[in-house]
Amino acid sequence: MTAEDDPRRARGKEMMKEVYGWDIGPVEGSFVELTVDHLFGDIWANGTLSVRERRLLLIGLLVGSGLDDVVGLQLDCATNIGELDESELRELVLFLAHYAGWPRAAKFNQIVEELVARRAKAAEA
């Protein structure tokens, strides 16, 4: 059996599609293999927490760590698949401001408001 035939690989690719809304395509390289097979095939797919619960935890961690570039990806995916709406995003800003700190929440708010504006503009087009 090749790695591409491994059930974890298939489960991981399916879970990545559910989380991000797109197919990952071919899996090449040790880092990508570990991400698909273990992180998504085992951890995200284990069913203990929902995808939405995991994403909320991840967003909190990313904001708290100041990883703004990665939080933008999570927000885009969450809104594209209908997992979070703009009122929920704004609630996250308020909630995380009290735990991650006001400066990080201010940056997060900027990311959220840019996303909301971008989506409104796209809806008008």
Average pLDDT score over residue span 59-68 = 96
Calculate mean pLDDT across residues 6-10.
Answer: 91
Tell me which DSSP letter residue 82 carries: T
Q: Hey, what domains does the chain have and what are their CATH numbers?
A: 3-46 (no CATH), 51-124 (1.20.1290)
Q: What own/partner pairs with CB < 8 Å and gap ≥ 24 does 6-9 have?
A: 6/37, 7/41, 8/37, 8/38, 8/41, 8/42, 9/36, 9/37, 9/41
Q: How far apart are CA 33 and CA 47, in angstroms?
A: 21
CB 11 within 8 A of CB 45: yes
Residue 105 CA, chain-centre distance (Å), reads 18
d(C-alpha 28, C-alpha 80), whole Å: 26
68 CA to centre of own chain? 12
**Does pLDDT of 3 surpass 80?**
no
Q: Is the pLDDT of residue 5 over 90?
A: no
C-alpha 111: how far from chain center: 14
Confidence of residue 33 (pLDDT cuts 50, 70, 90): very high
Average pLDDT of the segment spanning 45-66: 97
Q: Which whole number is the average pLDDT over 36-48? A: 96
Asked if the model's pLDDT at residue 26 lies above 90, the reply is no
Each residue of 64-123: pLDDT tens digit?
999 999 999 999 999 999 999 999 999 999 999 999 999 999 999 999 999 999 999 999
What's the pLDDT score for residue 1? 57
Phi-psi category of 87—alpha, beta or left, where left has phi over 0 and alpha has psi -120 to 50? alpha
The label of the residue with tokens 């700190």 reads 101
Listed residue (56, 117, 43) closest to 86, CA to CA: 117
Q: What is the reported pTM?
A: 0.89
